[in-house]
Amino acid sequence: MTTLIIDDEAPARTIVRQYLADFPQVRIVGECADGFAAVESIAQLQPELVFLDIQMPGLNGFEVLGRLEQVPRVVFSTAYDQYALSAFEAGALDYLLKPYDRTRFRRAVDRVLQHTADAPDANLQRLLQRLEDARSTMPAPAAPAAFPPRLFVPQGARLVAVPVETIRWVEAAGDYATLHTTTGQHLSNLGITALQHRLDPQRFLRIHRSVLVALNAVSELERDGSGGYYATLEGGKVVRVSRSYADALRPLLG
């Protein structure tokens, strides 16, 4: 497994390098000391795993991930425990709180290796089953106030109501987003993240940083060979489930 070490402190990088010597199945391909270099190195080297500090010059660890098209497996390492929840929400496989010892580090790497060893067919089957369950028994929104039945989009000088039940997928369009519905396309003045918060997560899933889909619109999934999937929607549209979002989905699959 190719690995990149990202930390602005040289002693911290040295510890990771020394501890990784216990794992011949892990190969270090580089080191970075700031966020901008991390983004460039990940894009160039395409590591399968990164050990990522959170507080760094230039960009913090979360901002680094936000700039990536494909996010590798991530183990965060930081001296600040308040970032733990955000780290796991970002799809991290583990969170090392400095200072950590070799035993704690070994548990983190073992978790990564076990995650890699999980059968992809089993993961795919669980995801397919969840999509099928969502299509057959679509749960109601948790509360009308939290998940409105309609979204309003600008059309000239007017605001037009778009029923949420007609939305099949949402695509980022710069600071805005395009709603692809059963009746046509509508440009929302909200970004995709804002729309994600307004749509029921039991009915809509973020599968890429630029794509949000209705679960009951997904008819087929196919592995892409790099840890993600290709999702075929009603009508034949194919959208990609990036590896970072596929990893985040797996804990929800049961």
- For 172-213, what is each residue's pLDDT tens digit? 988 889 999 999 999 988 888 888 888 888 888 888 888 898
pLDDT score of 205: 85
- Does 70 or 250 have the greater pLDDT score? 70
How would residue 87 be classed by pLDDT, with cut points 50, 70 and 90?
A: low
How many other CB atoms sit within 10 Å of the CB of residue 29? 15
Of the two residues 154 and 123, the one the predictor is more confident about is: 154
Q: For the sheet containing 184-188, what is the strand order?
A: 184-188, 176-181, 167-173, 211-214, 204-208
pTM for the full model?
A: 0.48
How many Cα atoms within 13 Å fall on the side-chain side of residue 49?
Answer: 23
Topology of the domain comprising 2-117: Rossmann fold (3.40.50)
Domains in the chain: boundaries = 2-117, 120-252
Give the CA dihedral 222, 117, 246, 71, nearest 10 degrees: -120
Q: What is the mean pLDDT of residues 145-167?
A: 81
Q: Does residue 6 surpass a pLDDT of 90?
A: yes
Over 50: is that where the pLDDT of 138 sits? no
- For 120-252, the fitting CATH number among 2.40.50.1020, 3.20.20.140, 2.60.300.12, 3.40.50.1370 is 2.40.50.1020
pLDDT of 26 over the 90 cut: yes
pLDDT given for residue 182 in this prediction: 92
Reading the block at residue 128, the tokens are 């397919």
Q: What is the pLDDT of residue 156?
A: 73
Q: Can you give the length of the chain in residues?
A: 254
Does position 92 have pLDDT exceeding 80, yes or no? no
Could you tell me the two tokens for 32? 């970075």
Instruction: Kindly state the tokens that stand for 5.
Output: 């070490």
Please give the share of the chain, as a percent, with pLDDT higher than 70. 79
pLDDT score of 50:
95
Looking at residue 120, its pLDDT comes to 45
